[in-house]
């Protein structure tokens, strides 16, 4: 599906009840915010029914003033001329998601980095080993906005 507005119309008509929102925010970018309970289901639909088989990147955003974080996955399809940013909101006191590696194995690196930098746990991830920080790091999560700069003990 190469047309962004056709994709949005089709997706909202078929799966709008499973998401918090769907919107076009640039000429070549769409945002889909999943309901937490349908997070993996929607990812599989995007891959299997809409052809988003190319996971570009993933990462988190911290919103401490709202007491939440947001996990983002950037997805592309060989048949589209746009990118979908697939998002899910998490309360800062409940930072656990099923791993997206069951849908796109290439998200492994991005989830490992996100775990180290933000503290989001990815249940079912089979290789959640330290990626960037030293093995003896005890200083917290460096990309959280309330990080104080603690270091290695």
Half-sphere exposure of 48 toward its Cβ, with a 13 Å CA cutoff? 8
- Quick check: 151 pLDDT over 70? no
* Domain annotation covers residue 141: no
Whole-prediction pTM: 0.91
* Domain annotation covers residue 145: no
Token representation of residue 45: 């639909």
Domains: count for the chain: 1
Q: What is the pLDDT of residues 82-136, one digit of tens each?
A: 999 999 999 999 999 999 999 999 999 999 999 999 999 999 999 998 889 988 8
CATH, residue 86: 3.30.460.80
Range of the domain at 8: 4-123
At 41, which helix (H) or strand (E)?
helix 39-48
Instruction: For residue 41, count other CB atoms closer than 10 A to its CB.
Output: 14
CA distance 67 to 56: 27
């Amino acid at each position: 599906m190469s047309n962004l507005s056709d994709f949005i119309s089709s997706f909202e008509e078929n799966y709008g009840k499973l998401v918090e929102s769907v919107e076009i925010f640039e000429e070549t970018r769409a945002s889909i915010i999943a309901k937490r309970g349908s997070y993996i289901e929607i990812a599989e639909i995007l891959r299997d029914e809409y052809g988003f088989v190319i996971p570009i990147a993933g990462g988190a955003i911290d919103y401490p003033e709202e007491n939440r974080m947001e996990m983002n996955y950037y997805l592309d399809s060989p048949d589209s001329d746009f990118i979908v940013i697939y998002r899910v909101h998490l309360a800062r006191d409940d930072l656990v998601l099923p791993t997206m590696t069951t849908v796109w194995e290439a998200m492994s690196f991005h989830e490992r980095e996100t775990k180290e930098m933000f503290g989001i746990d990815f249940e079912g991830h089979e290789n959640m080993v330290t990626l960037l920080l030293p093995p003896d790091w005890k200083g917290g999560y460096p990309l959280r906005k309330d990080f104080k700069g603690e270091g290695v003990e």
